[in-house]
Structure 1
Amino acid sequence: MHLRVSDQHYALQYDQNNNYMLAYEDIDVNVDSNLIVVEPYVCLFDDDWKIVDEVWEYMQYLLHIKKLSFSTVITKGSDLKLFYEFLQQHKINYRATTQKTIHDFNVWLSRCDQQPLNRIISSMKNFYQYHHQQNGLSTPFDTSTPSSRPAPSNGHTKNAPIHQKLIKIKEFDNGIRVLSKDQIETIFNACTMQRDRILFELLLFTGIQIAEALGLNIPSLGIPAKRPLSLDEDNSQAKSYYHQHKTGIQDLNIPAPLMEKLSNYYENIWLKIYDSKKMHHDFFFISEFHNNKGEPLTYQAVWERCRGIGKKTGLFFTPEDFRHTHAAVLCHDKEGSKRLRKLLGKTHVASIDTYAQIAHNDPIMNELIPYYESYGVIRG
């Protein structure tokens, strides 16, 4: 495990195997590559120098949402590095930890000289609490809260939190989570903005990655532009953290019903914002709020929308869950399996095998297959 930190701006770039790699601003980045510009970071890498996604997400949350000091986040990152080294040695997935895992980690830490046990365990607990609240991840720590009592007539407890029953997403090997048809509809029905539902449908029915989706512009979606766009490439790059400069998306198979929704959103909402804010970019997914209206939608903002829906429904999901669901459905037939291999690449053979097992053996497919057929994603 390797912890790397920087208080400078940097860029993330996809390599040929669709894995992230760092590309600093002083490096000449190929304009045809996938590029995401991000603010200061604390990042944990595994021994193959691949980003540990769940730690990355948590570190970004601490830096940019909670606004903790850079030194504090580095300390928490160092604590999690120790924990992941322990998990690696004992071949334990972070999703499969138990109270016994925590006990064994305590023992393991006690053998290390001058390690602040209480602080490290606290960092772990906060890490798991975050993913429990955001993504519905099972946690080895106690997350129970007192059940709310009926509010008395004087209203003193009217703002007390109400316990929301969690809706579990079915999880398989390799951290793959697949949404059921009912869960998908729960998410869609909870969307209060047309943009959010369209984005989630795009992830679900095309299998595109969230970073790629946020980097889509009007031409890449095949929507005829109805305005002569005034583009300022340098300005759009500076304002678009987490965005790709060039998406490089090929063979994006958008079903006809979704394409109609994308076109309607462009004509009825996007163009009005474009005209009113005099935008200098053509990213399709944009903010609709007053403070940053018209600016490219950020990865951070998408996570906030997911979290808000999770709090409202009890169904905590991530953008990646849509991609997993799409991949499992594609494995239903040979034609879909070929598309999936092209979508994921050769480095995901183990995941493809898991998707195939889900597609052919799990009851969750009984409703998903007809659902995807009705959208024209797969053939009946």
Structure 2
Amino acid sequence: MRNETYTVVDGKGRVVELVDDYLALCTDREQSPNTLRARAFDLKTWLVFLQLLDVDLLAASPEHVDQFAGWLRRPIQPGRLRSADADGPAREPSTVNRALNSVYMFYGFLARRGVGMGAQLTHRRAAGIGDYGGFLAGIGEREVTRRPTRLKQVRRRPATLTDAEVQGILDACERLRDRLLMALMFETGCRIGQALGLRHEDINTDRRTLTLRPREDNANRARGKSHDPKEIPVRQALLDLYTDYLFAEYGELDCDYVFVNLWNGTVGTPMGYWAVMSLVKRLRRRAGIDFHPHLFRHTHATALLRAGVRLEVASELLTHRSVHTTADTYGHLDTDDLADELDRVGFRGSW
């Protein structure tokens, strides 16, 4: 199978060779199409910025990276004045940091070729308290790599749905297929790509499990981020819904995929991302709830941790590569969590 990839062209329609070489390396490393697309878009934006400054790609300096970060927050033509109270598009710090990271990685790639400013974009310092330790941590002196330009991000717990909102979305589903898809994402916390790539062979009704398998040959281009298969326990109610769906709507279709087009598009072919987003828009109108598919994952993950599920177990269920990903995304507590924990141990009851 040919891997999907991206490239970047200049204003005259010519491929930017250095960027193309880097994106080809990312493709060879089997980065997801979404990641490749984001890298390509970020580097295109970097090239636009350098063009405004009339600076060549290989002549860029760390100072230009600093200017790039500010320009991403408040785009303005070089040499132009801008009113201090003027409204305008401002990218979030997380978006700016993603673009900066793409630039850092690109110049790190060039540094291995002996060109560009890659070596100037990082500096090393002695490891301190709070730095992540690797396998040999503590055996000898450690250093960590720091990138000088990075915007401060406010850590927020991802938005979640209430039980009533989840039920409202499920009740708004007029088809069993749609209800199964929404219920699956809520109950397992799987990504939409993992759900769309699900095959009938992945569902084990005897063990009451489903297996999320990474596949790169999905006809609907669905992909999950995990690299290894993961068997996830599910409730019998979800399996009953799956059985009802097979008998009432799926019928005699000859298809390996669980979620297929039944009323729109080519009947019997796997559902794609656009079909799901069209469904989500209809459900938003019917339920009066503003949501997106990934909100089910955030809701599931938060519910696991609030129920006292150990972090490493939650990480496995969410198919994260590392428990640190789970901790960074969901591990911090909000005020309600802190109050609930104090009530649980009886600390506030004596006041």
TM superposition score normalised by structure 1? 0.48
Partners of 2:180 and 2:50 in 1: CA distance = 37
Q: Which has the higher contact order (CA 8 A, sep 6+)?
A: 1
Partners of 1:358 and 1:328 in 2: CA distance = 14
Cα drift, residue 325 of structure 1: 0.3
**How does 1:295-374 map onto structure 2 within 5 Å?**
295-342=269-316, 343=318, 344=320, 345-348=322-325, 349-354=327-332, 356-357=333-334, 360-361=337-338
Q: Matched residue of 1:330: which SS?
A: helix
CA gap 1:214/1:86 in 2 versus in 1, 3 angstroms: farther
Q: Matched residue of 2:289: which SS?
A: coil
Q: CA RMSD in A?
A: 4.7
Q: Which runs of 5+ in 1 are unaligned?
A: 8-20, 30-34, 46-50, 57-73, 91-100, 113-120, 129-171, 225-235, 364-380
Partners of 1:358 and 1:214 in 2: CA distance = 36
Cα drift, residue 205 of structure 1: 0.9
**How does 1:1-380 map onto structure 2 within 5 Å?**
5=7, 23=27, 43-45=37-39, 89=69, 105-106=74-75, 109-111=77-79, 173-174=155-156, 176-223=158-205, 237=217, 239-243=219-223, 248-272=228-252, 274=253, 279=254, 281-342=255-316, 343=318, 344=320, 345-348=322-325, 349-354=327-332, 356-357=333-334, 360-361=337-338
Cα drift, residue 340 of structure 1: 1.1
Cα deviation digits, residues 5-48 of structure 1 (max 9, x gap): 479xxxxxxxxxxxxx9546xx8x7xxxxx97x79x98223xxx
Cα drift, residue 81 of structure 1: 12
Q: Which runs of 5+ in 2 are unaligned?
A: 10-24, 52-64, 81-86, 93-153, 207-215, 341-351
Partner residue in 1 for 2:96: none
Partners of 1:304 and 1:81 in 2: CA distance = 38
TM superposition score normalised by structure 2? 0.51
CA gap 1:75/1:6 in 2 versus in 1, 3 angstroms: closer
Higher Cα Rg, which structure: 2
Q: Matched residue of 1:262: which SS?
A: helix
Cα drift, residue 283 of structure 1: 1.0
Q: Matched residue of 1:252: which SS?
A: strand
Q: Matched residue of 2:306: which SS?
A: coil
Partners of 1:81 and 1:209 in 2: CA distance = 36
Partners of 1:200 and 1:326 in 2: CA distance = 12
For the 8 Å contact 1:223–1:263, the answer to whether it is kept is no
For the 8 Å contact 1:6–1:42, the answer to whether it is kept is no
Amino acid at match of 2:176: Q
- Of all paired residues, the percent bearing the same amino acid is 16
Amino acid at match of 2:191: Q
Cα drift, residue 322 of structure 1: 0.3
CA gap 1:327/1:87 in 2 versus in 1, 3 angstroms: farther
Partners of 1:293 and 1:328 in 2: CA distance = 36
Partners of 1:331 and 1:87 in 2: CA distance = 40
Cα drift, residue 346 of structure 1: 2.7
Partners of 1:79 and 1:309 in 2: CA distance = 39
Cα drift, residue 267 of structure 1: 2.9
